[in-house]
Amino acid sequence: MCVNNFNMNVIDEVIKASEELFLEDDVENGVLEQLKDLWITKLKNANDEGHSANGTDIIVKSVLSQLDGNETDSDDSNASSSSSNEMSVAEEEEAEQLDDTEESLNSDDDLSEENLEDTDNVVICQYNKITRNRSRWTLELKNGVMTLDNKEFIFNQARGYTTW
């Protein structure tokens, strides 16, 4: 099922079921329609930002250029941050030798854990079975919505393999 169809399906169902809720709450006529319009408009804007042509199923795409770009970016930032760490440590050591004072380790030196999990490529799903054999993991997933490279995909079943 195409992602666009899936989205419209969910939207239609939600709007239909909300009719009663809106009536119960004595909401003005037309607000429900407004909700639907707002929702669809925002969805379109989100998709356009992802520069996807038309939300079809998984498209064959050469992401090598993007992949390379991402890799160089992350490599550069890693290299520069590690070299700056090394430099500051070296500077501190020099200061110690010169001043005979000790620089204690601070919690500022810790790598923030939040940055490690920061990515726009997310898979929201349910798991059937997660298994591990030594360091080899098998992930059996279902009912997933994925946002990869600003494009949306959906799946009923997915199976993945990876190594820790």
Partner 1 sequence: MSYQLYRNTTLGHTLQESLDELIQYGQITPQLACKVLLQFDKSINQTLATRVRSRLTFKAGKLNTYRFCDNVWTFMLNDVEFREVQEIIKIDKVKIVACDGKNVEGEGPSKK
Give residues 111-140 in contact with partner 1 (rule: CB under 8 A).
116-117, 119, 121-128, 130, 137, 139
Q: How far apart are CA 100 and CA 88, in angstroms?
A: 17
When asked if residue 160 is in the footprint of partner 1 (CB under 8 A), the reply is: yes
Give whichever of 91 and 140 is closer to partner 1, judged by the CB atom: 140
What is the chain's alpha carbon radius of gyration, rounded to the nearest angstrom? 25
Q: How far apart are CA 131 and CA 80, in angstroms?
A: 37
Query: Considering Cα of 20, then 25, then 31, then 34, what sign does the dihedral take?
Result: negative
Binders of partner 1 among residues 12 to 31 (CB under 8 A) are: 13-14, 17-18, 21-22, 25, 27-28, 31
Site string for partner 1, 33-62 (x = CB under 8 A): -xx--xx--xx--xx---------xxxxx-
Answer for which of 33, 71, 91, 93 binds partner 1 (CB under 8 A) is 71
Main-chain dihedrals φ then ψ at residue 147, nearest 5 degrees: -120, 105
Q: What is the DSSP-derived secondary structure letter of residue 111? A: P
CB of 99 to partner 1, least distance (A): 40
